[in-house]
Amino acid sequence: MSSDEAHASAAPLSTKGFRLSRPSIVGHDTPVPPFPIYLSGVVQRGFGRGGRDLGCHTANLPDEALEPLASATHPGIYFGYARVRRDRGTGEKAETEEIANLTDADLDAFPMAMSLGFNPYYKNKKMTAEVHIIHEYPSDFYHHYMDVVVLGYIRPELDYTSRDLEALIQDIDTDKRVTLASLDRPAYRVFAQRLRERE
């Protein structure tokens, strides 16, 4: 068994007791090491399952963008800010994708919840970083650059039975609420501006 497969099979099972005991705010009053962690990369096309099955669209970062995070943390759900940029990657795949219809307002920094891991519900064998930006975009933005700052940890990656999709959706909704509440502190809000200023 590879190390990726071992991590993928180690996620604890989601339980009702866990969901009922979740805190509404996580993290210290200011980010503590290893946070903040900055990531940047071209948004990759994934399986499309987040939007289709869960009502939670995600933007996937490429493997090479994950090194700063994967080397300092472990699989789980994290929070912070993300910002989509107008500039795009190059190459054949980028040329076949429609250019996103993004306004200047869509290029701001917004709260995000990110799943780092193997998504046990879908039995992924490879670690991925799936970023859900809490903002309604007018279109997809594949192959646009995205900057992310990870500021804290929300919870472990959980496994769900095949009949427990509703529990997964409930946990994702809670992750979003926890993200917004946890970022609503002065020491965290400043990172939205720092992300806006990054080139």
- Token pair, residue 179, equals 């993200």
**What SS3 state is found at 1?**
coil
Phi, psi (rounded to 5 degrees) for 12? -70, 155
How many Å apart are CA 130 and CA 143, to the nearest integer? 15
Q: CB under 8 Å to 138, separation ≥6 — which residues?
A: 101, 102, 103, 106
CB 192 within 8 A of CB 109: yes
**What SS3 state is found at 76?**
strand
Q: Which of 67, 92, 130, 166 is catalytic?
A: 130
SS3 content of the chain, % helix, strand, coil (to 5): 35, 25, 40
Residue 25 DSSP symbol = S
CA contacts within 13 A on the Cβ side of 99: 6
130 is annotated as an active-site residue = yes
- Which residue numbers are catalytic? 130
